[in-house]
Every structure is written in C-alpha cells, then in structure tokens.
C-alpha cells in the first residue's frame, strides 16, 4: 500500500474515532473538547488536502444518481465543518483564547449546535459511502477469504441490530430537536454511565452508515450502464 493511502486511512480512522468523543462534551469537559475539536479540524484540513483531486474533478464527467448523492454529502460535511470551525473559534476559551473574540456568543452557540448534529449525521453517512472499501480492507487484513455466506448473514444481523438500536437512541436523545434548534442547550443524563452514552452514539453512527451503504448500493445499481441499457 502506498504511503499516501496509509496516511489517508489513518486520518479517516482518527476522525471517525473523534466523532463520538466530540459529541460527549458533557463527559470530556470544555478544555478537552476544544483541544480534540482542534485536532479534528487539523485532520479535516489534512483529509481535504489529500483529496484535492476530488474537488478538481467536480466539474468533470457525468453526474449519476450516486455521484450526486456523494457530492451533496461531501459538500454538506464541508459546510458543517466550516460552521464548527467558525463557531468553535468564536467560543474558544483555550486553543484560540488569544484571539480575544467577544460578542456573537448566542449566534456561535446556535451555529455550533446545528453544525455539530448535522455534521455528526453527514460524517456518518460519509463513512457509509466508503463502507464497502472499509470491509474489503478489513477482510484482507484478517485474511477472511474466501467469502462466507454464514459470515455474511451474521454481519447483516449485527448491522440490523445496531441500526434498530440506533433508531431507539436517536429518538431517546431527541436529536431532531437539536437538528432544528428546538432545544438551545444540550440535555444530558449525568446518572448515565459513559459507556452507555458512547454505545448510543456509536449505534446512531451505525444507523446512518447502514442507511448510506444500502442507499449507495441502490443508486449505483440504478446508475449502472447495464441497467440503463435494459431499460431502453
């Protein structure tokens, strides 16, 4: 594997790990949250630099249903990250405190609320769009060849279980209210064990990964040249 490919995988893995941790603001505290957020921004910038070719090709080629979906998701992640960067810097008490920004705190809190929750969803969907590649790499790493029907069934059952629990967690944490600013402050159950909090958010990530993975498969099937020929 080429060094650049290894770096890309490492950066994406770090960002995926940081995602649920950053949603645990009430558990980590503001100082840790801000420094981890700064690390996420550095990883995000690195990710985009390593994938500049994707941006250069935006105006090239034909846009299939899958490519449109992928482009919307990627640009949505980009917008959310910019929103998080701007609002995070405005509210910072640690990494960017030297900027001495005052005013606009109400706007920054609202922007951070929106960008963090929409970003959580879009970044999970982004992972789902690359899940097939992740699974292929995992199979190669653990040398799980040849393909097994039993293993496939077991993995699907596990994925379905995670997705169902993710729906429950999504409703339980009332994520919709944060997505549309119906609630202005994070509600947190302090008696909840941290492991349960992370289980809920990992399950929600799994839910959106599953949705994106199967949506991508469907769109790729619709967009395939063979299918289009059959329709003619």
Q: Where on the phi/psi map is residue 63: left (φ > 0), alpha (ψ -120 to 50), or beta?
A: beta
**Is the CB of residue 206 less than 8 Å from the CB of residue 162?**
yes
| Distance of alpha carbon 232 from alpha carbon 220, whole angstroms | 18
Whether this prediction's pTM lies above 0.85 is answered by yes
Q: What is the pLDDT of residues 79-104, one digit of tens each?
A: 999 999 999 999 999 999 999 888 89
pLDDT tens-place string over residues 117-161 = 999 999 999 999 999 888 888 877 777 777 778 888 999 999 999
Q: What residue has token string 């959310």?
A: 80
Distance separating alpha carbons of residues 33 and 30, to the nearest angstrom: 5
């Amino acid at each position: 594997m080429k060094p650049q490919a290894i770096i890309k995988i490492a950066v994406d893995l770090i960002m995926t790990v940081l995602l649920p941790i950053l949603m645990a603001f009430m558990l980590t505290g503001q100082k840790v949250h801000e420094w981890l957020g700064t690390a996420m921004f550095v990883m995000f910038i690195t990710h985009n630099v390593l994938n500049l070719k994707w941006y250069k090709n935006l105006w090239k080629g034909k846009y299939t249903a899958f490519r449109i979906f992928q482009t919307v998701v990627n640009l949505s992640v980009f917008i959310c990250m910019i929103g998080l960067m701007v609002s995070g810097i405005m509210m910072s008490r640690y990494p960017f405190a030297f900027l001495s920004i005052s005013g606009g705190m109400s706007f920054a809190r609202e922007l951070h609320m929106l960008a963090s929750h929409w970003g959580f969803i879009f970044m999970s969907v982004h992972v789902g769009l690359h899940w097939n590649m992740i699974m292929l790499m995992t199979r190669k790493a653990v040398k799980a060849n040849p393909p097994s029907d039993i293993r496939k069934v077991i993995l699907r059952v596990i994925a379905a279980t995670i997705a169902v629990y993710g729906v429950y967690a999504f409703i339980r944490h009332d994520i919709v209210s944060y997505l549309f600013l119906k609630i202005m402050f994070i509600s947190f159950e302090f008696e909840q064990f941290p492991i349960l909090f992370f289980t809920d958010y990992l399950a929600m990530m799994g839910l959106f990964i599953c949705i994106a993975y199967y949506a991508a498969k469907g769109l790729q099937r619709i967009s395939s040249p063979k299918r289009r020929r059959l329709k003619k």
